[in-house]
Chain A
């Protein structure tokens, strides 16, 4: 197989104000004809920058400092814009990150596909181009392509938009397809279908694929070669099987170790597992909880669940399943349309304003996006202090002592107390959010997707932190997530939610290994890396509180 794409010593930097920040610092990589190569890296690793540099879509403030990008023997960096136009679409196809915003909102999708054919003169006229576009949409797996071709992007779902983008990328019959996180904005079940389809189409046409992803499991499932990037540098590369089985670089080892997977065991942090035996007194009991927004279909449709003292229940569902609404109802940020929420036997929905406020001493929430959940003007100290001041817990010196203790509990250095949220990393912000949630000694912690915005290594650290705190403080937890692999590490029991209803509830081991409901099965099958021996192999147990 000949080299189709060869990137040599590529260096790219971004200018911001008067500073220059290197994003890619000398990367070499090669894609052979018909091969699938995955570029794996965490955020800030420069993987998207490489993809954009190859196809010439770098932002205005980016500068290619050095290197060459050889595509089919010619250096793309020396080409003029017009010459590059010949390569784009016909030589190299591109599938962008976020399908919902990557299609022109004011043009029907059929025309957007046909445009590729018209630009590269692969159609006789407009009518012919549109007819071919319908075929391409059908090939991309869009149901009823004839009708969809006349629809606008906002009338299609995210998955359907991604199929349109695949049709656009493949329309010019390119030799290379660059897919930049093609499914990270989609639900796992959709993600699986799209990737399967993309893989099949590429194989059919003999198209090489450069797959950019943050998800090692996705790379493991799809690629023959994996390239691992970290902070703009190439860390390790090699054939998929070999690289995963025996990573040599410490960074890759950590990445492999931290990737959540279904076969993981529960994080115990030295504490004994909660006794399974006679049912303990529940901290939270929910009966027939329903929330309807303005005559729409119910967002939450009569769910029942309970959490025992010291237990962690994972609430799993895809976007729009109503799991975040449930969280808001449970902490009293929204009032249920029907049903009861009992915390320690007290019905929350019957409480008045003061009662709901008092509830927050016992139930606290950790949000998905910690940055948005903090006043940008507050310092870390003020953020953690807010609940203590609101409930007049202790006097000033005692409060300061408690803040120090809380920061220590979440393993943040005291020097961070003067920082503002914008000056913290994502992992640090989530630790601050946890510290704030713990300030009032709550019994129940509701975590709404607390790790889904984080890189895997940070994700693993936060999960370990939560597991440790749970053991130390005897917390009960409702852990809301879309990621079944994460569930495995933290949950005692699992409740699977779909379209506002619970379809299955049970012990984590049972649900994840012997699912009853077809939907749960579908979710499990969609988890990337699920069917691969390499990732499924039990890994050496690592000591836990290694934060």
Chain B
């Protein structure tokens, strides 16, 4: 692509005025309306998690027996469950558990996976290959089964589920991290830095690690959606939060017995999960796209 090598340098133009900048920002937001909606949704869900009382004044744990299994209405936007509890309140209060678990899972995967990947990329060729063979084994067992095995050993509960999902998805981070480290170590600018007399630790801290951060963080954003999906699935299987506590997956699981009579009990919490995952993935893809 001879045509692309010598791109004319951007010239120093006059700084854009404030109103022009604002108008341009507004146009961009309109152009990316779907993205804006995704961000707003996640902000709202985060709000549910931090300040559930602001979003729903009803009690998620005690129900009104007279209002059992009511369909969605003005008073109960998402209907009520078999004990007469407001489903909207339960979804709002469940956000804390679900998000917390997803954050723990991504955190565990990020720290564990990146550390292993960094080690595999920084050590010699043989040691790196050996580490990656072991990581490959984790990839040979489907993540859901790894998580199930870990939960069998660790016991049930939201935190156990979160840690299990984190460990089960760490292998992906290790692979990406190692690939990035190897790519950057092979980049000509590392050779140039060595020629400039830079020492190993300087190259690692100033060149390698900052340049790996982008792809790994994009992966973290992507894994956040996956983690939500995993955790709700494991909760659905009855391995997560203990019954009275609301969690999105367990809400669906509990509503399963009333599938025939109260569709909202399974459908509406599921849609909440789906939209949250969709929003997280959309934002992750945008980050990925911006990195090119």
Chain A residues engaging chain B, CB cutoff 8 angstroms: 18, 42-44, 47-48, 97-98, 181, 184, 214, 328, 331, 333, 357, 360-361, 364-365, 367, 369, 372-377, 386-387, 390-391, 415, 423-428, 433, 436-437, 439-440, 453-455, 458
Contact = CB atoms under 8 A, between A and B. Distances in A.
A108 to B, nearest CB: 27
Given A42-B6, A458-B6, A391 B189 contact: no
B211 A333 contact: no
Contact of B6 (A44, A97, A331): A44
A48 B198 contact: no
Interface of B: 1-10, 12, 27-28, 31, 187-189, 191-199, 202, 206-207, 210-211
Contacts of B12: 415
Contact of A386 (B10, B191, B198): B198
What 7 A-B pairs have minimum CB-CB distances, sorted nearest first? A387-B196, A390-B197, A426-B6, A425-B9, A372-B188, A373-B188, A373-B192
B6 A427 contact: yes
B interface, over-half SS: helix
B8 A333 contact: no
Given A373-B191, A453-B6, 14 more contacts: A43-B2, A44-B3, A44-B7, A44-B8, A181-B2, A357-B199, A360-B197, A373-B188, A374-B189, A375-B189, A375-B206, A386-B198, A424-B9, A458-B6
Contacts of B10: 423
5 contacts: A361-B197, A390-B196, A390-B202, A391-B197, A440-B196
B210 A377 contact: yes
Given A375-B207, A423-B9, A43 B4 contact: yes
A482 to B, nearest CB: 15
A443 to B, nearest CB: 14
Contacts of A386: 193, 196, 198
A454 B197 contact: no
A427 B9 CA distance: 10
A415 B197 CA distance: 26
Given A372-B189, A374-B189, A331 B195 contact: yes
B25 to A, nearest CB: 12
Contacts of B206: 375
Given A44-B7, A373-B191, A425-B9, A440 B197 contact: yes
B5 A454 contact: yes
Contacts of A361: 197
A369 B193 CA distance: 15
B188 A369 contact: yes
Nearest to B191: A333
B189 A373 contact: yes
Contacts of A415: 12
A181 B3 CA distance: 10
A367 B192 contact: yes
B188 A48 contact: no
Contacts of B193: 375, 386
A321 B27 CA distance: 54
Contacts of A331: 195
A390 B2 contact: no
Contacts of B198: 386-387, 390
Nearest to A328: B191
Contacts of B6: 42-44, 425-427, 453-455, 458
A1 B231 CA distance: 76
A250 B211 CA distance: 44
Contacts of A390: 196-199, 202
B188 to A, nearest CB: 4
Nearest to A367: B188
Nearest to B206: A375
B7 A425 contact: yes
B8 A425 contact: yes
Contacts of A437: 195
Nearest to B24: A18
A436 B211 contact: no
The residue among B1, B189, B197 with the most chain A CB atoms within 10 A of its own CB is: B197
Nearest to A41: B3
A454 B7 CA distance: 10
Contacts of B210: 377
B202 to A, nearest CB: 7
Nearest to A18: B31
A468 B12 CA distance: 28
A214 B2 contact: yes
